[in-house]
Structure 1
């Protein structure tokens, strides 16, 4: 079903000014920045890419192949401050000196999503939340693609949105949107906005205030009209708290596993039920590919999107039953000597680790640690007492983990590499146990990113 998109982000900027093409500067040369550079070049801008750090070889080659000017290892301020607009990669905080100077100079700083949204009339399905957004975005894409829709998957996942806008012609996009992306989105509009949950995460970027982070997440509803849809978790206390002070214009579609929902999704005994404008869908939770309490929420959110787009029940049932979860999210690695190894490296906050532990049915040796983003480990203590026989720390500074759990588990050991962590966890575990890598922390102290951490762990398990 094709639905019209009157996205305000589609307003085009003038491409020509006095003296030729307008300068667009791009900060950061990762997937997001390089994709934005390519699209900007296609649209006639004079593009300059600047990365304060080193640029990965594959991205450098792309920029060279496209004849796009770039620099690495620092910022040439005169080049950047001569831009009419700057596209900032989501990982760069507003407190970075160059960003402060741009703001002082009244030069607009926007996200790649905001920029790319101007150049497509596709319908936008935008998914955010502290936990579950990658799984939900991937499942939603899977259902829509199987339903025959011409759909792309982008945002915080896969090829950048901007690059796909430049090279593809999709009617729909499923976008996984982080709070960092939302912070620099202004005119962009989500036709369908999904907010899964709000739990403390990235508080170092939000003055250590949950209300600031929550306000960022709620930007997913900005610019929505009465023709749009806002899908949210009716069981999430923080979401409901923020909604009390908000006027939401879009049609609201809640989901819950705790109460019956008239228009939206809910759990009826062992069945997911979705009711939307006479559209009815029901499926046994035992048939869902994604198991565990947290995945009921993810499946409900994806199912509501599919019903809004009027996909057939048969397509939904088949897709929700055969979906394979993403790499690094509760990914089964191997069973060795009766010990299961699970890679949940994508769990970069405490709440994600809580969900992982909650879904475990056997004794756990938990691999935890990395860059602590102001974590409150209190919510894990009860589950650690119930399920965790040992904690293996994987990080440079593990003091806060020791302090948090010294009374809750007998064994806490430190390791400095994925190989060492896997080896020690293997020796601490017994037949029937699970070794769970679910770090609750970012990975940048020992690894390039959470993918690198997950892959090193999987390689280490295969060497056991």
Structure 2
């Protein structure tokens, strides 16, 4: 097929890669002449079938395509509306996935773990399950999931849905059940306010079964928006995971799977064997140090971990340069006041900006910047009998550090 990809953010690049790997002829475009194409450039694929255009969209090529994959950030734009009107939107051309019983997991934190828990239970219970979604959460993007779901027969589809792509996913997939883990203060530059974010989730759960966190005051405001609402609290059985927040994730998975017809005994059996997802929070005993490590890329995620116990040393990865909304992580760290704070480049190297922000806050504890992973490991080796937390932004680097500590 001749397929166009409009917009080359992370999702657009992942869509391009997914389509090329399947032998499609692909026209991909983005109007931003400075778009970062690192993911596309570093992926080993045959690019002979790729027609790449940066700086403009060729509407003639797009509208002559057999199908078009649109980046989620463009979903509300006129170009996407025109693509939908011409019946070219990829989920309107490839539709087999809409016949699969579909579970969407969204929220500020806990999406990836909860999605994997549901997948783990269903697949071990003997069902054929396809899992994927949010390219920013460690999956390979929504287009990859759609393509995979259209290639085979599945009993269930589990989608991790980023909070910034709710309307997009509501159109692209035929969702039966939504799990909303929580509503927190992340991506406020996109949502505008926590109230508007709550309204967006309320729209997302309309005409669906919703599994909502009874501990979240914002989710409790929208319990009447869904076709049927089920509330979850904390899981009451044994888990091999760190943190009380994972008890909420497990209970969300339990309630969802019961609604899907899985007996409780089976759910408990397989949650007991569930292991932490790569890059998510784990506890490690290393060289007489107790280390908790995992991505905590917003203040609510960080607080959930740091509230579990007192850490002597906190090591935090920086976000992308434009994500100044995530600097509030540092406000909480100032209140937490570890003996030593170390900053490393998690995504973009804005360690200087982090130091400047902390100076403005009047932070007066030990503060270090360490740029290289090998030097972070060396620093840990030089300490003993310490409680250390490693997190913040930069899932790939946090996963690499984890692998070196295990």
Question: TM-score w.r.t. structure 2 length?
Answer: 0.79
Aligned to 1:236: 216
Summarize deviations over 1:42-71 as a string: whole Å, max 9, x none. Answer: xxxx7523354435357562564xx4x431
Structure with bigger gyration radius: 1
**TM superposition outliers: structure 1 runs of 4+ over 6 Å:** 37-40, 109-113
Aligned to 2:176: 191
Within a 5 Å distance, the mapping from 1:290-301 to structure 2 comes to: 290-301=241-252
Q: CA deviation at 1:382?
A: 7.9
Q: d(CA) in 1 for partners of 2:336 and 2:179?
A: 31
Aligned to 2:96: 119
- The counterpart of 1:365, out of the listed 310, 314, 327, is 314
Q: d(CA) in 2 for partners of 1:35 and 1:320?
A: 31
Q: d(CA) in 2 for partners of 1:182 and 1:217?
A: 7
Distance change >3 Å, CA 417–CA 154, structure 1 → 2: same
Distance change >3 Å, CA 401–CA 343, structure 1 → 2: farther
Aligned to 2:129: 151
Aligned to 1:30: 13
Question: Would you say how many aligned residue pairs link Structure 1 and Structure 2?
Answer: 379
Aligned to 1:454: 398
Q: d(CA) in 2 for partners of 1:405 and 1:418?
A: 27
Summarize deviations over 1:252-285 as a string: whole Å, max 9, x none. Answer: 101125xxxxxxxxxxxxxx4xxxxxxxxxx43x
Q: CA deviation at 1:294?
A: 0.7
Q: d(CA) in 1 for partners of 2:318 and 2:22?
A: 38
- The counterpart of 1:350, out of the listed 299, 310, 331, is 299
Q: d(CA) in 1 for partners of 2:42 and 2:147?
A: 15
Summarize deviations over 1:93-129 as a string: whole Å, max 9, x none. Answer: 449xxx85626x8444999995688322110011001
Q: CA deviation at 1:330?
A: 1.3
Stretches of structure 2 lacking an aligned partner (at least 5 in a row): none
Summarize deviations over 1:308-366 as a string: whole Å, max 9, x none. Answer: 12212332111111100101111346602x1234431x321111111221233553433
Stretches of structure 1 lacking an aligned partner (at least 5 in a row): 1-20, 258-271, 273-282, 444-449
Within a 5 Å distance, the mapping from 1:59-208 to structure 2 comes to: 59=43, 61=45, 64=48, 67=49, 69-71=50-52, 73-79=54-60, 82=63, 86-90=68-72, 93-94=73-74, 102=79, 106-108=82-84, 118-120=95-97, 121-156=99-134, 157-159=138-140, 160-187=144-171, 188-206=173-191, 208=192
SS at match of 1:56: helix
Distance change >3 Å, CA 460–CA 202, structure 1 → 2: same
Q: d(CA) in 2 for partners of 1:180 and 1:33?
A: 20
Q: Report if the CA contact (8 A) 1:366-1:391 is conserved.
A: yes
By percentage of residues, which structure has more helix?
2
SS at match of 2:257: helix
SS at match of 1:142: helix
Q: d(CA) in 2 for partners of 1:322 and 1:175?
A: 22
Within a 5 Å distance, the mapping from 1:200-279 to structure 2 comes to: 200-206=185-191, 208-222=192-206, 224=207, 228-241=208-221, 243=222, 247-257=224-234, 272=235
Q: d(CA) in 2 for partners of 1:218 and 1:174?
A: 20
Does residue 336 of structure 2 align to residue 384 of structure 1?
Answer: yes
Distance change >3 Å, CA 198–CA 185, structure 1 → 2: same
Aligned to 2:391: 438
Q: d(CA) in 2 for partners of 1:116 and 1:460?
A: 45
Q: d(CA) in 2 for partners of 1:295 and 1:56?
A: 34
- Worse overlay, 323-332 or 356-365: 356-365
Question: TM-score w.r.t. structure 1 length?
Answer: 0.70
